[in-house]
């Protein structure tokens, strides 16, 4: 068995929450986790839609992390 390590160069993660503060907290936690992998935020795309089942606002974000 061969063990090979490769560095992650790019990573895209998706988040969703019914509260903007919760969404921010989820993203902040993942930013801290990705610092250990030497990744920083390259870009953030977000939007708000209505959840058809609950009628509540659903906040979503896509965060692109890139190697330093």
What is the Cα–Cα distance from 20 to 6, expressed in whole angstroms? 35
Say if residue 2's pLDDT is above 90. no
- If one counts every other C-beta atom within 10 angstroms of the C-beta of residue 40, the result is 12
Confidence at residue 4, expressed as pLDDT on a 0 to 100 scale: 85
Tens digits of residue pLDDT in 5-64: 888 899 999 999 999 999 999 999 999 999 999 999 999 999 999 999 999 999 999 999
Q: What pTM, to 2 d.p., does this model score?
A: 0.85
Q: Which residues contact 51 (CB under 8 A, 6 or more apart)?
A: 18, 57, 58
């Amino acid at each position: 068995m061969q063990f090979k390590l490769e560095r992650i160069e790019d990573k895209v993660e998706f988040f969703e929450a019914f509260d903007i503060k919760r969404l921010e907290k989820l993203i902040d936690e993942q930013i801290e986790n990705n610092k250990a992998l030497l990744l920083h935020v390259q870009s953030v795309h977000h939007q708000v839609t209505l959840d058809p089942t609950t009628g509540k606002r659903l906040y979503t974000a896509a965060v692109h992390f890139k190697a330093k």
